[in-house]
Structure 1
Amino acid sequence: MVSLALTAALVLALLRAVAARRWLRITVTGNSMSPTFLDGQRLVVQRRRDRVPRTGEAIVFEAPPDRRHEVALRLKRVAATGGEEMPAWARARFRSEVVPAGYLLVVGDNAVSEDSRQLGLIAVTSVLAIVDEPGTTRRAAMLPTRGDAMN
């Protein structure tokens, strides 16, 4: 009886360890991604680094080192990927017409958001997960249209 309970406990521990490596549980804080993701909403996202995120996809990434004291992980939408043309609002900020290879331009769904306007371009290597949004076909290239106000 003890060996069966021990085996079950070990199997459960192994499954939890595997799940922790494949899945990431986050709680949305703030309104920068509303109305798509709401403050307090809990998400379970699959960790993936098997491909570069596409324009329009929501991603979870590690904040730049100088911003990790605020929030370690960020949830934003990809506005442009390496090699793609930058939206008009980003050209002056980054003094470039094209996003450099290996980087992403990210925005919040809410125009009043802290995103690439403040964080800069995001390295593809900092992406932890691509958020699965069934039925969502948003493209963020037109966002944001407001000034640099933060949420």
Structure 2
Amino acid sequence: MAAGLAKRQGEAGVGPEHLLYGVLGDALDPVGTQVSRKGHGTLSWLRAQPWFGDQLATWGASYLGYVQWELAARDIPEWKIALIQDAPSSFAEIFMYPGGAFATDNALGWVQLVERMFTGGYGITRQMVGMIGAARQLSRAALALPLQEADQALTGHPVPWFRD
């Protein structure tokens, strides 16, 4: 479908799953420790597509905006415009370590959100219902010791990117 769209209108879209999971087959990386490699992999993949032209525009919020900040450090001749929404240029430092200290609630809240959105296999209705007890679950997990295992207290399993 994208190739057909590209032929008719000269443009095509690539969904956010390419940046979240990467076209490289990587695991989910919602704090951006692999974002530079994923952005490069996605760009290489785009360039190799027969429908890709000589112009690139990006748009996205949150993690997708963060990927754009990483791409901005490179010379990408095809890149004409970036629309970055709600995305700090240094997510892990600003969100996870505001003022230099680890923000347990921020980090565990992000674990909880990402878990529900991307790994739980839940539809939107089930995600919304799950929010009813979310604050209570988050409060209990934040008290878990050792702190490195708070992700498991929250989700029932270790979350690799939280432990990194």
TM class by smaller structure = under 0.3
**TM-score (normalizing by structure 1):** 0.25
- Relative to total residues, which structure has the larger strand share, 1 or 2? 1
Normalising by structure 2, we get a TM-score of: 0.23
